[in-house]
Amino acid sequence: MNSEHRGSITRRQFVTSSATVLAASSLARNAQATTNFFAQHEAARRGPFRVIIDTDPGVDDALALLLAMRSPELKIEAITPVAGNVPLELTLPNALRMVEIAGRTDIPVAAGARAPLVRRLVTAAYAHGENGLGGAVFPEPKTKPAKEPAAELIRQIVRKFPGEVTLLTIGPLTNIATALSTDPELAGMVRALVMMGGSLSGGNITPAAEFNIYVDPEAARVVFQSGIPITMVGLDVTRKTSLTEEHLRQLQGAQNPVSQAAATIARNAIEHNRERGFIVGPNMHDSLAVAGFIDPSLLKLKEYYVDVETTGELTAGETLGYSPNAGDLRRRPEMAKDPAATNMSIRGSAPTLASTRTSPVVRDRFVPNANVAVDVDSIRFFDLLISRLSGKL
């Protein structure tokens, strides 16, 4: 469905009504679903797990896609590019290039949204190069994209395999929000969603916002309020995954198309960072989200209620994590589950002098909607990433 025009309603009305519908049904299953997913995931490590990868390649997206396609734990049902790091005119062929390099042209690649739900597109070509791959040049893809648009293909696959599909989202969430909003029953059929996005410790495109959420905060809010069990792998942990010259040498030393392509992209990214004066190499944001799904033991997770700021002039795209057991609210372990903790209300901004209403209560009690990654075993992460890309499973 074209996000620019939906019958007689505007894009903004579409977002508002969609968020309301999704939020109404989310609390009923949020309390247990998020925690239960990880217990089930650990209990069924055999896999393979059905996944759809929503992406905006992008340097780290490209390596994440290659990692996913070299991981037998994953059964990739589709790859759905979206505009983000660079426009869709580049993210789509970049995704097609990756499936050809990995020899996985059996995976359908469907074109997604060209723009956020209600905003103009902001890209990150300054970080990913004009072509999205750090300037690394590969042949034009011969593989054609799927006929269905991304949101429709997502909807079809989730309905075909209800309760089985995990969404691995490593770009702005426009495609996912569109699919959820056009099919109100869909959220209840999604097994889980693991995202690279957000931050509880400051942003990377503004002081407040992480890039993927900043590009389309309205879409992110739809997703966080959908009731899907969410894992947020944000800057809190991905900042600890800097690619180094040693990693590059290991990739260059492996003689296979995937490792050589990954090395070419990595080399350009490292040189680009060096030219811009950065002390460390590029962070493998998106690869960590994929790796964290493959091996959840790489990440330490903490339950939060996460919401997204959509109206702040300086804070749009900020992800806010509420917890009755964090910061100044930390309690002794034996008191962490005390009823007083879960009775914490989640409030909006204080009323202005011109308003007669009180502070809006977003939630009257604390119910987590996401497991947020708060720490990572970086050494083991890179062992997994480099070994998979090098062909050493």
Helix (H, G, I), strand (E, B) or coil at 113: coil
Per the CB < 8 A criterion, the answer to whether 95 and 124 are in contact is no
CA dist 14 and 107 (Å) reads 31
3-state DSSP helix/strand/coil % of the chain, to nearest 5: 40, 15, 40
DSSP string for residues in 20-45: HHHHHHHHHHHHHHHHHHHHHHHHTT
Answer left, alpha or beta for residue 7, where phi above 0 means left and psi between -120 and 50 means alpha. Answer: left
Helix (H, G, I), strand (E, B) or coil at 7: coil
- The residues with which 9 forms a beta bridge, in sequence order, are 6
Out of 41, 128, 247, 285, pick the active-site residue.
285
CA dist 202 and 45 (Å) reads 33
Cβ-based neighbour number of residue 355 at 10 Å: 9
DSSP-assigned letter for residue 297: G
| Known active-site residue 285 | yes
Q: Return the active site residues.
A: 285
